[in-house]
Chain A
Amino acid sequence: MESELSEPTYITLDDNLWGEILEATNGAAGPCFQCGVCTATCPWGIVREEDFTVRTLLRRAQIGSLEKVESLWLCTACAQCEASCPRGVPIAEVIRGLRYLLWKRRHVLPDLPTTLWSLYWNNNPWGQPPSQRTQWMGDLEVPLFDADRHEILLYIGCTPSFDRRAQNIARSLVKVLKASGVSFGILGEGEPCCGESALDLGHRPYFEELANKAVAVFYQNQVKKIVTISPHCYDVMQNEYPDDAEFEVHHYTQYLASLLQNNLLSFQNPLNHKVTYQDPCFLGRRNNEYDAPREVINSVPGISLLEMDRSGPETLCCGGGGGRMWMETPIGERFSDVRVREAASTSAEILVTSCPFCITCFEDSIKAESLNGLKVLDVAELAALALEELT
């Protein structure tokens, strides 16, 4: 805490800037009474000697100062601090607001504009050709969404569309949905990016533009029920899209859990493995969904689910949220390194999660930590394996 105490004791206040910050953060920092629980609970404290001083950022937002706020790019929006905040401050929201003011001042990390430009040009943050958005399907056949024939729209999202590793999540989920007999379609090349990375990087106005475009596409296709693969897409559609949007949004683990409850889906193929489960921040802490993925996992015969010490609301972020997927994290400061060690210490053979960003981070860390006995699977991949008869 030394760095926090050695902050300068005087600051020049500027009423205009104060007003600007108040507007960008929606005044959300107001209730903070500077107890410092946010700084103390922030996972950066696990990997860095110098804390990420969230409390100081909140203080600056309160009094109207943008000095020494560069550390705000560290935030992974994991909401660990929010869970502990006695005043209920939406801290990640305040940080996004401050990030926007840095965008306005063109004071952002060098590679971040490229990510936004890619959303603009390519309709995805990965710099990938939009014409290849359906490449993930391989030889699977998935019909284009038709409101008359399909109950749900399966929203693939950018990372499962383009990232070769994450494509397997999409293919697995399609197999599981097909096995359940539910009617579903996709938007194919016409699928809009949900805009989450723009919001996470702090550019709310551009996010809103993308969100409005996406909503227009959903309306045009008369979509009533959306099932997403990534909790990040789910989070923005559920919490950030216009309140009057006329469609429901489910994360696929929630949807699979409801299929299981209604006996529309069952797993026959036993998988005799010890697994542990990573609650993705954007599904767990940010959306309070801890049960659905566990219901799916526990429905697989033979599986034994071992919980890590930090799980459920105490889950440790993989480090990929808050736009950190688009920034470099120095070695030794990656949450995922810590997390895969925790997973291995449960004696689990498989670390299961339900977010494509978690998978990328964990698979990198497993190699870096040489934990060769540990595999990473998505809940959808586990479910697909539990359908297939092993020959």
Chain B
Amino acid sequence: MVASLFDPSEENKAIWVLLESAGVELTDVSFELLAKGRELADEVDWPLAGVLIGDRLEHLNSQVLSHQADEVLLLEHPLLEAFTVDAYTQALYAAIMERIPSVILFGATPNSRDIAGRLAVRLRTGLNADCIDLRMDKDRGVLISDVTGFGGGVVALLEMPDHRPQLATVRPGVFHSLEASAPRSDKVRRAKVELDQSVIRTRIIEQVKGEGVSIGQAPVLVCGGRGISGNFEMLTELAELLGGDVGATRPPVDEGYIERERQVGQTGVICHPEIAINCGISGAFHFVVGIQDAEIIISINSDPNAPIFEFSDYCVVGDVEQILPALIQSLKEERVVTHA
């Protein structure tokens, strides 16, 4: 195996997490990274740095520090205002070469994945992709990553004892974030960023948000099958209360109750929601493959022998037309109470 640019004897014992922001807030996965990074840093008693990259980002410092980073590392430059993978990689690479941290964590988001892969090649080091858990081996200062293989059938434990930095991307939504609390420090450092225009090869002219239906990323998916007799208004209401979206099996799509873009399954969309609620769905395999990766599957069906129950964490035997209105009602009441 090729040696990395640094070996473990040269590293600075520190953990970095690369943060992303959307407008004035850090993204959810950034808070999750800070929480997990804090846990790892405490395991080995190393400092945790939250890395911000972009232009004019000071307003985010307090969020990073109140989520328990020991310091903020700012990489700011006018050419970093919009994300371009070349410029972001170059700026980060320079900062890493200067400071040689032992561990860097990234969210497994499209942009951070892109950066992490490029950095790993430039630094001749390894990258543990899409980790579902992380811990530190205290004695050796080695990061151990849990990575699922074979479609989730096995978990592999990966470590890189001889290469630095130790890079890992983590799946959004896997770790819990911490509530903001009193900062541990107010330390903000700026890394030197030298870039020139030649590194910018793409220019964003306009950002257009697609208006099409996209259920693949919905955190909560309420799916309806033949058994709901086309009553998608009820499902939509439930989905809205839960901050989710609505999907369907093939029959209601065929019957014209709902658009084809919402069809879940082998010949529709493969979804990975946190929660899937299946209403009046028997569980044909063609459908099941589109929903089985959901973290929690709740199914409501009047037939106790429906195959869908085999794939479900929670099985509700009963009439959707009776159960959903009651669920919707109690969610609304709860909401009123919370807001009171």
- Enumerate chain A interface residues (CB-CB to B < 8 A): 111, 114, 121-122, 126-132, 162-166, 325-328, 331, 360, 363-364, 367-368
- In the bound complex, what is the Cα–Cα distance between A170 and B263 (angstroms)? 29
Q: At the interface, yes or no: B154 with Cβ under 8 Å from chain A?
A: yes
B8 contact set on A, CB distance < 8 A: none
Per-position binary interface string of chain B over residues 150-162, scored 1 when its CB falls under 8 Å from any chain A CB and 0 otherwise: 1111100000000
A326 contact set on B, CB distance < 8 A: 266-267
Q: Which of A128, A129, A367 contacts B251 (CB 8 A)?
A: A367
A128 contact set on B, CB distance < 8 A: 151, 289
Interface segment among B172-180, B280-288, B314-322: the answer is B280-288
Are A328 and B289 CB-contacts (below 8 A) given A130-B150, A131-B153?
no
Chain A interface mostly helix, strand, loop or mixed?
helix
Tell me if A129 and B153 are in contact (CB < 8 A): yes
Are A129 and B150 CB-contacts (below 8 A) given A164-B285, A360-B284?
yes
Tell me if A131 and B150 are in contact (CB < 8 A): yes
- In the bound complex, what is the Cα–Cα distance between A69 and B307 (angstroms)? 40
A327 contact set on B, CB distance < 8 A: 267
A360 contact set on B, CB distance < 8 A: 284-286
What is the distance, in angstroms, from B188's C-beta to the closest C-beta of chain A?
43
B77 contact set on A, CB distance < 8 A: none
A-B contact pairs, 30 of them (CB 8 A): A111-B267, A121-B151, A122-B150, A126-B285, A126-B289, A127-B151, A127-B266, A128-B289, A129-B150, A129-B151, A130-B150, A130-B151, A131-B150, A131-B151, A131-B154, A132-B153, A162-B285, A163-B285, A164-B307, A165-B284, A165-B285, A166-B285, A325-B266, A326-B266, A326-B267, A331-B254, A360-B286, A364-B250, A367-B226, A368-B254
Q: At the interface, yes or no: B235 with Cβ under 8 Å from chain A?
A: no
B250 contact set on A, CB distance < 8 A: 364
- In the bound complex, what is the Cα–Cα distance between A130 and B150 (angstroms)? 6
A127 contact set on B, CB distance < 8 A: 151, 266, 270, 289
Per-position binary interface string of chain B over residues 255-266, scored 1 when its CB falls under 8 Å from any chain A CB and 0 otherwise: 000001001001
- Enumerate chain B interface residues (CB-CB to A < 8 A): 150-154, 226, 250-251, 254, 260, 263, 266-268, 270, 283-286, 288-289, 307, 310
A114 contact set on B, CB distance < 8 A: 270
A126 contact set on B, CB distance < 8 A: 266, 285, 289
- In the bound complex, what is the Cα–Cα distance between A113 and B263 (angstroms)? 19
Tell me if A364 and B284 are in contact (CB < 8 A): yes
B153 contact set on A, CB distance < 8 A: 129-132
- In the bound complex, what is the Cα–Cα distance between A164 and B153 (angstroms)? 18
- In the bound complex, what is the Cα–Cα distance between A33 and B191 (angstroms)? 74
Tell me if A122 and B151 are in contact (CB < 8 A): yes
Known: A126-B266, A130-B151, A367-B226. 10 other contacts (CB 8 A): A129-B153, A130-B153, A165-B284, A326-B267, A328-B260, A328-B263, A328-B267, A360-B284, A360-B286, A364-B284
Tell me if B268 and A328 are in contact (CB < 8 A): yes
Residue of chain B at shortest CB distance from A124: B151
What is the distance, in angstroms, from B258's C-beta to the closest C-beta of chain A?
13
B310 contact set on A, CB distance < 8 A: 164
- In the bound complex, what is the Cα–Cα distance between A129 and B283 (angstroms)? 18
- In the bound complex, what is the Cα–Cα distance between A368 and B286 (angstroms)? 15
- In the bound complex, what is the Cα–Cα distance between A368 and B288 (angstroms)? 18
- In the bound complex, what is the Cα–Cα distance between A304 and B20 (angstroms)? 69
What is the distance, in angstroms, from A357's C-beta to the closest C-beta of chain B?
11
B151 contact set on A, CB distance < 8 A: 121-122, 127-131
What is the distance, in angstroms, from B303's C-beta to the closest C-beta of chain A?
13
Tell me if A165 and B307 are in contact (CB < 8 A): yes
B283 contact set on A, CB distance < 8 A: 164
- In the bound complex, what is the Cα–Cα distance between A367 and B286 (angstroms)? 15
Residue of chain A at shortest CB distance from B268: A328
What is the distance, in angstroms, from B270's C-beta to the closest C-beta of chain A?
7
Residue of chain B at shortest CB distance from A115: B266
A368 contact set on B, CB distance < 8 A: 251, 254
- In the bound complex, what is the Cα–Cα distance between A114 and B216 (angstroms)? 15
B226 contact set on A, CB distance < 8 A: 367
What is the distance, in angstroms, from B107's C-beta to the closest C-beta of chain A?
23
- In the bound complex, what is the Cα–Cα distance between A336 and B250 (angstroms)? 15
What is the distance, in angstroms, from A123's C-beta to the closest C-beta of chain B?
9
- In the bound complex, what is the Cα–Cα distance between A210 and B318 (angstroms)? 46
- In the bound complex, what is the Cα–Cα distance between A303 and B81 (angstroms)? 76
B150 contact set on A, CB distance < 8 A: 121-122, 129-131
Residue of chain B at shortest CB distance from A330: B254
- In the bound complex, what is the Cα–Cα distance between A326 and B268 (angstroms)? 10
What is the distance, in angstroms, from B228's C-beta to the closest C-beta of chain A?
14
What is the distance, in angstroms, from A69's C-beta to the closest C-beta of chain B?
22
Residue of chain B at shortest CB distance from A167: B285
Residue of chain A at shortest CB distance from B148: A129
Q: Which 4 A-B pairs have the closest CB atoms?
A: A131-B153, A129-B153, A129-B151, A331-B254
What is the distance, in angstroms, from A332's C-beta to the closest C-beta of chain B?
9
A130 contact set on B, CB distance < 8 A: 150-151, 153
B289 contact set on A, CB distance < 8 A: 126-128
B288 contact set on A, CB distance < 8 A: 164
